[in-house]
Amino acid sequence: MNRPLLIENARVVDPASGTDARGAVLIENGVVTDLALAGPVGVPEGAEVIDAGGLILAPGLVDMRVFTGEPGKEYRETLQSAGEAAAAGGVTSFVMMPDTAPVVDDGALVDFLIRRAKATSRVNVLPAAAITKGLAGQEITEFGLLKEAGAVCLSDGRHSIQSAALLRTAMSYAANYGMTFVHHVSDRSLTGDGVMNEGLFATVLGLKGIPREAETIPLARDLQLAALTGTTYHAAQISCRQSVDLVAAARSRNKRVTAGVSINNLALNENDIGRYRTFFKLSTPLRAEDDRQAVIEGLRNGTIDTIHSDHDPQDSEVKRQPFAEASDGAIGLETLLAAALRLVHSDDVDLLTVLRALTSRPADILGLPSGRIARGAPADLILLDLDYPWQVSERDIRSRSRNTSFEGARLAGKVMRTWVAGETVFQQAD
Protein backbone atom coordinates (compact mmCIF):
# COMPACT_ATOMS: atom_id res chain seq x y z
CA MET A 1 0.00 0.00 0.00
CA ASN A 2 1.31 3.46 -0.88
CA ARG A 3 1.49 6.18 1.74
CA PRO A 4 -1.38 8.69 1.57
CA LEU A 5 -0.34 11.94 -0.08
CA LEU A 6 -1.60 15.41 0.82
CA ILE A 7 -0.94 18.28 -1.57
CA GLU A 8 -1.69 21.48 0.32
CA ASN A 9 -1.41 25.23 -0.24
CA ALA A 10 -2.30 24.81 -3.90
CA ARG A 11 -4.37 26.84 -6.32
CA VAL A 12 -6.78 24.06 -7.28
CA VAL A 13 -8.01 24.53 -10.85
CA ASP A 14 -10.55 21.95 -11.99
CA PRO A 15 -12.27 22.86 -15.27
CA ALA A 16 -14.85 20.05 -14.94
CA SER A 17 -16.39 21.73 -11.89
CA GLY A 18 -15.32 25.30 -12.67
CA THR A 19 -13.17 25.37 -9.51
CA ASP A 20 -10.36 27.88 -9.15
CA ALA A 21 -9.59 28.31 -5.46
CA ARG A 22 -6.92 27.81 -2.84
CA GLY A 23 -7.14 24.33 -1.33
CA ALA A 24 -5.70 20.91 -0.67
CA VAL A 25 -6.11 17.45 -2.19
CA LEU A 26 -5.72 14.10 -0.44
CA ILE A 27 -4.69 11.03 -2.43
CA GLU A 28 -4.93 7.46 -1.25
CA ASN A 29 -4.36 4.28 -3.24
CA GLY A 30 -4.10 6.16 -6.52
CA VAL A 31 -7.36 8.11 -6.30
CA VAL A 32 -8.48 11.46 -4.91
CA THR A 33 -10.23 10.75 -1.60
CA ASP A 34 -10.73 14.27 -0.27
CA LEU A 35 -10.74 17.82 -1.55
CA ALA A 36 -10.78 20.86 0.71
CA LEU A 37 -11.21 24.38 -0.65
CA ALA A 38 -10.43 27.23 1.76
CA GLY A 39 -10.73 24.85 4.69
CA PRO A 40 -8.90 22.08 6.56
CA VAL A 41 -8.60 18.53 5.29
CA GLY A 42 -8.01 15.52 7.48
CA VAL A 43 -4.47 14.16 7.26
CA PRO A 44 -4.12 10.40 7.75
CA GLU A 45 -1.34 9.21 10.01
CA GLY A 46 1.91 8.72 8.14
CA ALA A 47 0.82 10.72 5.11
CA GLU A 48 3.36 12.46 2.90
CA VAL A 49 2.67 16.20 2.78
CA ILE A 50 3.69 18.38 -0.17
CA ASP A 51 3.45 22.17 0.03
CA ALA A 52 2.47 23.37 -3.44
CA GLY A 53 3.63 26.89 -2.62
CA GLY A 54 0.58 28.45 -4.27
CA LEU A 55 1.21 26.81 -7.65
CA ILE A 56 -1.67 25.51 -9.77
CA LEU A 57 -2.81 21.96 -9.10
CA ALA A 58 -4.75 20.78 -12.14
CA PRO A 59 -5.88 17.51 -13.71
CA GLY A 60 -3.31 15.78 -15.90
CA LEU A 61 -3.72 16.45 -19.61
CA VAL A 62 -5.54 14.00 -21.90
CA ASP A 63 -4.04 14.17 -25.41
CA MET A 64 -6.37 12.74 -28.07
CA ARG A 65 -3.87 12.53 -30.96
CA VAL A 66 -0.42 11.01 -30.49
CA PHE A 67 1.55 8.98 -33.01
CA THR A 68 4.31 6.65 -31.84
CA GLY A 69 6.92 4.57 -33.61
CA GLU A 70 6.31 1.43 -31.60
CA PRO A 71 5.56 -1.09 -32.93
CA GLY A 72 7.54 -1.08 -36.16
CA LYS A 73 9.52 2.15 -36.07
CA GLU A 74 10.96 2.27 -32.56
CA TYR A 75 13.85 4.43 -33.78
CA ARG A 76 11.34 7.30 -34.03
CA GLU A 77 9.54 6.78 -30.73
CA THR A 78 8.85 3.99 -28.24
CA LEU A 79 6.00 3.82 -25.76
CA GLN A 80 8.60 4.41 -23.06
CA SER A 81 10.10 7.54 -24.66
CA ALA A 82 6.65 8.89 -25.52
CA GLY A 83 5.63 8.33 -21.90
CA GLU A 84 8.65 10.22 -20.61
CA ALA A 85 7.94 13.13 -22.98
CA ALA A 86 4.28 13.11 -22.00
CA ALA A 87 5.02 13.13 -18.27
CA ALA A 88 7.37 16.09 -18.67
CA GLY A 89 4.64 17.95 -20.56
CA GLY A 90 1.93 17.17 -18.01
CA VAL A 91 0.15 14.66 -20.25
CA THR A 92 -1.01 11.79 -18.02
CA SER A 93 -3.07 9.99 -20.67
CA PHE A 94 -2.75 9.94 -24.44
CA VAL A 95 -4.62 8.28 -27.27
CA MET A 96 -2.21 6.33 -29.44
CA MET A 97 -3.13 6.48 -33.12
CA PRO A 98 -3.25 3.17 -35.02
CA ASP A 99 -0.69 4.21 -37.65
CA THR A 100 1.95 1.66 -36.68
CA ALA A 101 3.57 -1.38 -38.31
CA PRO A 102 1.51 -3.50 -38.07
CA VAL A 103 -1.59 -1.30 -38.03
CA VAL A 104 -3.70 -1.49 -34.86
CA ASP A 105 -6.63 -3.20 -36.54
CA ASP A 106 -6.71 -6.43 -34.53
CA GLY A 107 -7.87 -7.08 -30.96
CA ALA A 108 -4.74 -9.07 -30.13
CA LEU A 109 -2.54 -6.09 -30.99
CA VAL A 110 -4.70 -3.76 -28.88
CA ASP A 111 -4.27 -6.14 -25.96
CA PHE A 112 -0.52 -6.35 -26.56
CA LEU A 113 -0.13 -2.57 -26.66
CA ILE A 114 -2.06 -2.12 -23.41
CA ARG A 115 0.17 -4.66 -21.66
CA ARG A 116 3.32 -3.26 -23.26
CA ALA A 117 2.40 0.28 -22.20
CA LYS A 118 1.75 -0.79 -18.61
CA ALA A 119 5.19 -2.37 -18.52
CA THR A 120 7.16 0.47 -20.11
CA SER A 121 5.27 3.78 -20.09
CA ARG A 122 5.03 6.19 -17.18
CA VAL A 123 1.62 7.47 -18.30
CA ASN A 124 -1.67 5.95 -19.47
CA VAL A 125 -1.54 4.87 -23.11
CA LEU A 126 -4.98 4.47 -24.67
CA PRO A 127 -4.95 2.66 -28.05
CA ALA A 128 -7.25 3.86 -30.80
CA ALA A 129 -8.32 1.09 -33.16
CA ALA A 130 -8.33 1.45 -36.92
CA ILE A 131 -11.67 2.03 -38.61
CA THR A 132 -10.54 0.21 -41.75
CA LYS A 133 -8.22 -2.75 -42.17
CA GLY A 134 -4.67 -1.63 -42.81
CA LEU A 135 -5.93 1.98 -42.84
CA ALA A 136 -6.67 1.34 -46.50
CA GLY A 137 -10.18 2.79 -46.44
CA GLN A 138 -11.66 -0.31 -48.10
CA GLU A 139 -13.03 -2.66 -45.43
CA ILE A 140 -14.06 -1.93 -41.84
CA THR A 141 -12.50 -3.73 -38.90
CA GLU A 142 -14.15 -5.81 -36.17
CA PHE A 143 -15.34 -2.98 -33.92
CA GLY A 144 -16.79 -5.24 -31.23
CA LEU A 145 -13.60 -7.28 -30.80
CA LEU A 146 -11.48 -4.12 -30.77
CA LYS A 147 -13.65 -2.55 -28.10
CA GLU A 148 -13.56 -5.73 -26.03
CA ALA A 149 -9.75 -5.74 -26.25
CA GLY A 150 -9.61 -2.21 -24.81
CA ALA A 151 -9.63 0.28 -27.70
CA VAL A 152 -10.95 3.64 -26.49
CA CYS A 153 -12.12 4.95 -29.86
CA LEU A 154 -12.06 4.34 -33.59
CA SER A 155 -9.80 6.30 -35.93
CA ASP A 156 -7.86 5.91 -39.14
CA GLY A 157 -5.21 8.22 -37.73
CA ARG A 158 -3.65 10.49 -40.31
CA HIS A 159 -5.67 8.78 -43.05
CA SER A 160 -9.03 10.02 -44.26
CA ILE A 161 -11.72 7.68 -45.60
CA GLN A 162 -12.81 8.85 -49.03
CA SER A 163 -15.90 6.68 -49.59
CA ALA A 164 -19.10 8.18 -48.19
CA ALA A 165 -20.82 4.78 -48.38
CA LEU A 166 -18.08 3.11 -46.33
CA LEU A 167 -18.18 5.96 -43.83
CA ARG A 168 -21.92 5.57 -43.41
CA THR A 169 -21.53 1.87 -42.71
CA ALA A 170 -18.64 2.40 -40.31
CA MET A 171 -20.46 5.15 -38.42
CA SER A 172 -23.56 2.97 -38.09
CA TYR A 173 -21.53 0.12 -36.57
CA ALA A 174 -19.65 2.56 -34.30
CA ALA A 175 -22.99 3.86 -33.02
CA ASN A 176 -24.15 0.30 -32.33
CA TYR A 177 -21.04 -0.41 -30.27
CA GLY A 178 -21.04 2.96 -28.51
CA MET A 179 -17.56 3.88 -29.73
CA THR A 180 -16.44 7.44 -30.46
CA PHE A 181 -15.68 7.91 -34.17
CA VAL A 182 -12.60 10.14 -34.62
CA HIS A 183 -11.94 11.12 -38.21
CA HIS A 184 -9.27 13.16 -39.95
CA VAL A 185 -11.00 15.18 -42.68
CA SER A 186 -9.08 15.54 -45.93
CA ASP A 187 -10.27 15.18 -49.51
CA ARG A 188 -7.45 13.38 -51.31
CA SER A 189 -8.36 14.74 -54.74
CA LEU A 190 -8.28 18.33 -53.51
CA THR A 191 -5.19 17.90 -51.36
CA GLY A 192 -3.34 16.38 -54.31
CA ASP A 193 0.34 17.26 -54.25
CA GLY A 194 -0.23 20.26 -52.01
CA VAL A 195 2.25 20.80 -49.20
CA MET A 196 1.04 23.96 -47.43
CA ASN A 197 -1.93 26.29 -47.17
CA GLU A 198 -3.14 27.56 -50.52
CA GLY A 199 -2.67 31.30 -50.85
CA LEU A 200 -0.32 34.14 -51.68
CA PHE A 201 2.48 32.87 -49.43
CA ALA A 202 2.48 29.46 -51.13
CA THR A 203 2.68 31.23 -54.47
CA VAL A 204 5.63 33.33 -53.29
CA LEU A 205 7.44 30.18 -52.11
CA GLY A 206 6.62 28.35 -55.34
CA LEU A 207 4.88 25.53 -53.45
CA LYS A 208 1.61 23.76 -54.26
CA GLY A 209 -1.20 24.76 -51.93
CA ILE A 210 -3.91 22.81 -50.11
CA PRO A 211 -7.24 24.66 -50.30
CA ARG A 212 -9.47 24.97 -47.25
CA GLU A 213 -12.11 23.10 -49.22
CA ALA A 214 -9.98 19.96 -48.91
CA GLU A 215 -11.01 20.08 -45.26
CA THR A 216 -14.47 21.63 -45.36
CA ILE A 217 -16.01 19.41 -48.05
CA PRO A 218 -15.31 16.10 -46.27
CA LEU A 219 -16.18 17.72 -42.94
CA ALA A 220 -19.62 18.73 -44.25
CA ARG A 221 -20.12 15.19 -45.53
CA ASP A 222 -19.05 13.67 -42.18
CA LEU A 223 -21.35 15.91 -40.19
CA GLN A 224 -24.35 14.91 -42.31
CA LEU A 225 -23.50 11.21 -42.01
CA ALA A 226 -23.00 11.56 -38.26
CA ALA A 227 -26.51 12.97 -37.95
CA LEU A 228 -27.90 10.24 -40.18
CA THR A 229 -26.29 7.37 -38.26
CA GLY A 230 -26.47 8.76 -34.71
CA THR A 231 -22.81 8.08 -34.07
CA THR A 232 -20.69 10.02 -31.57
CA TYR A 233 -18.48 11.92 -33.99
CA HIS A 234 -15.28 13.85 -33.31
CA ALA A 235 -13.64 15.86 -36.10
CA ALA A 236 -10.02 15.06 -35.33
CA GLN A 237 -8.65 18.48 -36.16
CA ILE A 238 -10.02 21.53 -37.91
CA SER A 239 -7.99 24.50 -38.99
CA CYS A 240 -10.00 27.21 -40.75
CA ARG A 241 -12.90 29.59 -40.26
CA GLN A 242 -15.25 27.71 -42.58
CA SER A 243 -14.74 24.49 -40.60
CA VAL A 244 -15.53 26.26 -37.33
CA ASP A 245 -18.75 27.56 -38.87
CA LEU A 246 -19.71 24.08 -40.11
CA VAL A 247 -19.15 22.49 -36.70
CA ALA A 248 -21.07 25.28 -34.93
CA ALA A 249 -24.05 24.81 -37.23
CA ALA A 250 -23.98 21.01 -36.83
CA ARG A 251 -23.73 21.20 -33.04
CA SER A 252 -26.87 23.30 -32.88
CA ARG A 253 -28.71 20.26 -34.23
CA ASN A 254 -26.58 17.32 -33.08
CA LYS A 255 -25.06 17.24 -29.59
CA ARG A 256 -23.02 14.13 -30.45
CA VAL A 257 -20.66 16.21 -32.60
CA THR A 258 -17.36 17.49 -31.20
CA ALA A 259 -14.18 18.88 -32.73
CA GLY A 260 -10.51 19.19 -31.91
CA VAL A 261 -7.67 21.46 -32.94
CA SER A 262 -3.94 20.90 -33.06
CA ILE A 263 -1.85 23.16 -30.85
CA ASN A 264 0.10 23.96 -34.02
CA ASN A 265 -2.94 25.56 -35.66
CA LEU A 266 -3.66 27.54 -32.49
CA ALA A 267 -0.14 28.83 -31.90
CA LEU A 268 1.36 29.08 -35.41
CA ASN A 269 0.40 30.19 -38.91
CA GLU A 270 1.68 29.70 -42.45
CA ASN A 271 4.20 32.52 -42.12
CA ASP A 272 6.18 30.42 -39.62
CA ILE A 273 7.25 28.24 -42.52
CA GLY A 274 9.60 31.10 -43.41
CA ARG A 275 12.18 29.93 -45.88
CA TYR A 276 11.05 26.34 -46.32
CA ARG A 277 11.38 25.18 -42.70
CA THR A 278 10.23 21.57 -42.92
CA PHE A 279 9.48 21.18 -39.19
CA PHE A 280 6.45 23.34 -40.02
CA LYS A 281 5.24 21.00 -42.75
CA LEU A 282 2.17 19.51 -41.12
CA SER A 283 -1.11 17.79 -41.86
CA THR A 284 -3.47 19.63 -41.42
CA PRO A 285 -1.29 22.47 -42.81
CA LEU A 286 -0.69 25.71 -40.98
CA ARG A 287 -3.27 28.20 -42.22
CA ALA A 288 -3.45 31.98 -42.54
CA GLU A 289 -3.57 34.23 -39.48
CA ASP A 290 -7.29 34.92 -40.05
CA ASP A 291 -7.93 31.19 -39.77
CA ARG A 292 -5.84 30.95 -36.62
CA GLN A 293 -7.87 33.70 -35.05
CA ALA A 294 -11.07 31.91 -36.09
CA VAL A 295 -10.09 28.66 -34.38
CA ILE A 296 -9.11 30.62 -31.28
CA GLU A 297 -12.58 32.14 -31.28
CA GLY A 298 -14.02 28.67 -31.80
CA LEU A 299 -12.15 27.46 -28.73
CA ARG A 300 -13.28 30.48 -26.73
CA ASN A 301 -16.97 30.07 -27.56
CA GLY A 302 -17.04 26.30 -27.12
CA THR A 303 -17.34 25.24 -30.77
CA ILE A 304 -13.96 23.53 -30.50
CA ASP A 305 -13.82 21.05 -27.65
CA THR A 306 -10.27 19.77 -27.44
CA ILE A 307 -6.66 20.77 -27.98
CA HIS A 308 -4.15 18.05 -28.81
CA SER A 309 -0.44 17.88 -29.55
CA ASP A 310 -0.64 15.98 -32.88
CA HIS A 311 2.66 14.49 -31.68
CA ASP A 312 4.18 12.89 -34.78
CA PRO A 313 7.86 11.93 -34.42
CA GLN A 314 9.86 11.84 -37.65
CA ASP A 315 13.57 11.20 -38.03
CA SER A 316 15.93 13.73 -39.59
CA GLU A 317 16.28 11.77 -42.85
CA VAL A 318 12.65 12.39 -43.79
CA LYS A 319 12.42 15.95 -42.41
CA ARG A 320 15.69 17.44 -43.65
CA GLN A 321 14.57 17.28 -47.26
CA PRO A 322 13.34 19.89 -49.75
CA PHE A 323 10.05 21.16 -48.34
CA ALA A 324 7.85 19.48 -50.94
CA GLU A 325 9.53 16.10 -50.34
CA ALA A 326 9.75 16.18 -46.54
CA SER A 327 7.37 14.13 -44.40
CA ASP A 328 4.55 15.80 -42.50
CA GLY A 329 4.58 15.97 -38.73
CA ALA A 330 6.07 17.50 -35.60
CA ILE A 331 6.49 16.32 -32.03
CA GLY A 332 4.52 18.17 -29.38
CA LEU A 333 3.93 16.28 -26.13
CA GLU A 334 6.44 18.34 -24.15
CA THR A 335 5.34 21.72 -25.48
CA LEU A 336 1.56 21.22 -25.69
CA LEU A 337 0.62 22.89 -22.42
CA ALA A 338 3.13 25.73 -22.53
CA ALA A 339 2.20 26.59 -26.12
CA ALA A 340 -1.49 26.56 -25.20
CA LEU A 341 -0.77 28.89 -22.29
CA ARG A 342 0.33 31.51 -24.83
CA LEU A 343 -3.39 32.08 -25.37
CA VAL A 344 -3.85 32.69 -21.65
CA HIS A 345 -0.92 35.08 -21.33
CA SER A 346 -2.13 37.04 -24.37
CA ASP A 347 -5.66 37.24 -22.88
CA ASP A 348 -7.13 35.50 -25.92
CA VAL A 349 -8.64 32.63 -23.90
CA ASP A 350 -9.07 32.23 -20.14
CA LEU A 351 -7.21 29.57 -18.17
CA LEU A 352 -10.23 27.41 -17.36
CA THR A 353 -11.24 27.19 -21.02
CA VAL A 354 -7.75 26.17 -22.14
CA LEU A 355 -7.39 23.57 -19.40
CA ARG A 356 -10.90 22.25 -20.05
CA ALA A 357 -9.94 21.57 -23.67
CA LEU A 358 -6.87 19.70 -22.46
CA THR A 359 -8.42 17.70 -19.62
CA SER A 360 -12.13 17.20 -18.93
CA ARG A 361 -13.49 17.59 -22.46
CA PRO A 362 -11.30 14.90 -24.07
CA ALA A 363 -11.96 12.67 -21.05
CA ASP A 364 -15.72 13.18 -21.46
CA ILE A 365 -15.59 12.45 -25.18
CA LEU A 366 -13.73 9.20 -24.57
CA GLY A 367 -15.74 8.24 -21.49
CA LEU A 368 -12.74 8.33 -19.15
CA PRO A 369 -12.90 8.94 -15.38
CA SER A 370 -9.77 11.12 -15.52
CA GLY A 371 -9.40 14.78 -16.51
CA ARG A 372 -10.89 16.14 -13.26
CA ILE A 373 -10.13 16.65 -9.58
CA ALA A 374 -12.99 15.01 -7.72
CA ARG A 375 -13.45 12.44 -5.00
CA GLY A 376 -13.02 9.00 -6.51
CA ALA A 377 -11.28 10.25 -9.65
CA PRO A 378 -7.84 8.90 -10.60
CA ALA A 379 -5.05 10.94 -9.01
CA ASP A 380 -3.61 11.99 -12.37
CA LEU A 381 -2.50 15.51 -11.55
CA ILE A 382 0.00 18.21 -12.46
CA LEU A 383 1.58 21.03 -10.50
CA LEU A 384 1.92 24.00 -12.82
CA ASP A 385 3.94 27.20 -12.51
CA LEU A 386 1.95 29.47 -14.80
CA ASP A 387 4.72 32.04 -15.24
CA TYR A 388 7.85 29.85 -15.28
CA PRO A 389 10.01 31.10 -18.19
CA TRP A 390 11.85 28.59 -20.32
CA GLN A 391 13.15 28.07 -23.82
CA VAL A 392 12.65 24.97 -25.94
CA SER A 393 15.98 23.35 -26.70
CA GLU A 394 16.65 20.28 -28.79
CA ARG A 395 19.14 18.94 -26.25
CA ASP A 396 16.44 18.79 -23.56
CA ILE A 397 13.80 16.95 -25.62
CA ARG A 398 12.89 13.56 -24.20
CA SER A 399 11.30 12.23 -27.36
CA ARG A 400 13.51 10.09 -29.57
CA SER A 401 12.82 12.46 -32.46
CA ARG A 402 13.66 16.16 -32.55
CA ASN A 403 11.23 17.55 -35.12
CA THR A 404 9.62 20.21 -32.92
CA SER A 405 7.84 23.24 -34.35
CA PHE A 406 8.86 25.19 -31.24
CA GLU A 407 12.66 24.87 -31.33
CA GLY A 408 14.12 27.97 -29.65
CA ALA A 409 10.67 29.26 -28.66
CA ARG A 410 10.48 31.21 -25.41
CA LEU A 411 7.52 30.00 -23.40
CA ALA A 412 5.95 30.85 -20.04
CA GLY A 413 4.38 28.11 -17.96
CA LYS A 414 5.90 24.77 -17.04
CA VAL A 415 4.90 21.58 -15.27
CA MET A 416 6.82 21.26 -12.02
CA ARG A 417 5.52 17.82 -11.12
CA THR A 418 3.31 15.15 -12.64
CA TRP A 419 1.46 12.37 -10.82
CA VAL A 420 -0.18 9.30 -12.37
CA ALA A 421 -2.35 7.33 -9.96
CA GLY A 422 -0.73 9.28 -7.14
CA GLU A 423 2.82 8.31 -8.15
CA THR A 424 5.33 10.96 -9.22
CA VAL A 425 6.31 10.32 -12.83
CA PHE A 426 8.07 13.63 -13.46
CA GLN A 427 9.61 16.35 -11.31
CA GLN A 428 11.32 19.48 -12.59
CA ALA A 429 14.95 19.42 -11.51
CA ASP A 430 15.19 23.08 -10.58
Domain borders along the chain are: 60-366
Q: Which pLDDT score, from 0 to 100, does residue 1 have? A: 52
Total Cβ atoms within 10 A of residue 292:
22
Q: In what order do the strands lie in the sheet with 124-129?
A: 61-66, 91-96, 124-129, 153-155, 181-183, 233-235, 257-262, 306-308
pLDDT tens digit sequence for 343-352: 999 999 999 9
Q: Which pLDDT score, from 0 to 100, does residue 316 have? A: 86
Q: Which of 407, 401, 423, 308 is nearest to 77 (CA)?
A: 401
328 is catalytic: no
- The residue annotated as part of the active site, out of 99, 106, 156, 310, is 310
Percent of the chain with pLDDT over 70: 99
| Distance of alpha carbon 53 from alpha carbon 32, whole angstroms | 20
Q: Would you say residue 266 has pLDDT above 90?
A: yes
Q: What is the mean pLDDT of residues 109-129?
A: 98
**Which positions ≥6 away from 347 have C-beta within 8 Å?**
none
CA dist list (Å): 400 to 80, 94, 328, 336 = 10, 17, 17, 17
- Which of the residue ranges 32-41, 100-109, 209-218 would you say has the lowest mean pLDDT? 32-41
Backbone angles phi, psi at 147, to 5 degrees: -65, -45
Burial 138-161 (b: 16+ CB within 10 A, else e): eebbebeebbebebbbbbbbbbbb
3-state DSSP assignment of residue 159: coil
Report the predicted TM-score, pTM, of the whole model to 2 decimal places. 0.97
pLDDT tens digit sequence for 280-336: 999 999 999 999 999 999 999 999 999 999 999 999 889 989 999 999 999 999 999
Q: Which CATH architecture has domain 60-366?
A: Alpha-Beta Barrel (3.20)
| Distance of alpha carbon 57 from alpha carbon 10, whole angstroms | 6
Q: Which pLDDT score, from 0 to 100, does residue 38 have? A: 74
Q: Would you say residue 28 has pLDDT above 60?
A: yes
Q: What is the mean pLDDT of residues 135-148?
A: 98
Longest dimension (CA), the chain: 69
Q: Which pLDDT score, from 0 to 100, does residue 94 have? A: 98
Q: Which of 378, 376, 377, 343 is nearest to 357 (CA)?
A: 343
| Distance of alpha carbon 14 from alpha carbon 16, whole angstroms | 6
Q: Which pLDDT score, from 0 to 100, does residue 186 have? A: 98
Question: What amino acid is encoded at 197 in this protein?
Answer: N
| Distance of alpha carbon 315 from alpha carbon 320, whole angstroms | 9
Q: Would you say residue 2 has pLDDT above 80?
A: no
3-state DSSP assignment of residue 136: coil
Q: What is the mean pLDDT of residues 128-135?
A: 98
Helices (H), 100-240: 107-120, 143-149, 164-177, 188-191, 200-205, 213-229
Per-residue pLDDT band for 207 (boundaries 50, 70, 90) equals very high
Percent of the chain with pLDDT over 90: 95
Q: What is the mean pLDDT of residues 265-283?
A: 96
Q: Would you say residue 369 has pLDDT above 70?
A: yes
Please answer whether residues 326 and 333 qualify as being in contact, where contact means their C-beta atoms are separated by less than 8 angstroms: no
pLDDT tens digit sequence for 395-407: 999 999 999 999 9
pLDDT tens digit sequence for 208-240: 999 999 999 999 999 999 999 999 999 999 999
